[in-house]
Amino acid sequence: MREIIFDTETTGLDPKTGDRLVEIGCVELIDRRETGVTFHAYFNPERDMPAAAEAVHGLSIQFLSDKPLFAARVDELMEFLGDAPMVAHNAAFDFGFINAELMLAGRPPLDMNRMRCTVQMARKLHPGAKHSLDALCTRYGIDRSHRIKHGALLDAELLAHLYIEMTGGRQIGLGLAAQSADAGRSLAADPVRAAAPARAFREPRPHGATAAELARHTEFVAALNQPLWHDSP
């Protein structure tokens, strides 16, 4: 199954008040395994960057001023997303911004049924605990030492590791079918094993005692002095 883990950075908290999407990072998973295929883009928000937002992600309006508009890369983004389920941390926030940008670009919104939220998952798995990305990475032993500021692709990569752990860890997808397929590939890659002739059937060898052996055993037992099995209970 194909899934997209993604994160966004924005100019603020609410697209309804004019805040815009400025960065998106997406990581592809197939059967809960990272494929190494990603999508990452910065966007010119066509507005100023509030200091509070810049302090979070470090993206200044000077940096973003020569980046493309969302509409210029919307086709590329939609092609990458396809119809796969989309996983995000506090996913309603990210979906809200993407759908606001899609509306501005004259495109239909994403189906909210595709949304998977790791915050909601964490609340069920760890009620009463902290559910921030940092706190959950610490809980699951995921290294985030290189995360100085928020960044969409970096956070998506961390979230991909977290999502894999929260949904069963690294053993996901390692079923008998996969093992059989791996065994087949291993055999095909070994020409010596693949070309080895089948062994000829060999009749089982007789293993019962001979008459002479039985006679010697009888003599040995008869010579025993007060064997235990003759004692009265």
Take residue 195 and report the two structure tokens written for it: 């070309």
d(CA 200, CA 179): 28
d(CA 60, CA 62): 5
| Cα 62 to the center of its chain, rounded Å | 36
d(CA 104, CA 225): 104
57 labelled catalytic: no
Contact 223, 217 (CB under 8 A): no
d(CA 123, CA 135): 12
CA distances from residue 95 to 128, 187, 196, 226 in whole angstroms, order as listed: 25, 46, 57, 89
Residue type, 137: C
Strand ranges (E), 31-101: 33-42, 86-88
Contact 150, 54 (CB under 8 A): no
Contact 156, 23 (CB under 8 A): no
Q: 57, 131, 150, 161: which one is catalytic?
A: 150
Take residue 126 and report the two structure tokens written for it: 């760890």
Please identify every residue annotated as catalytic: 150
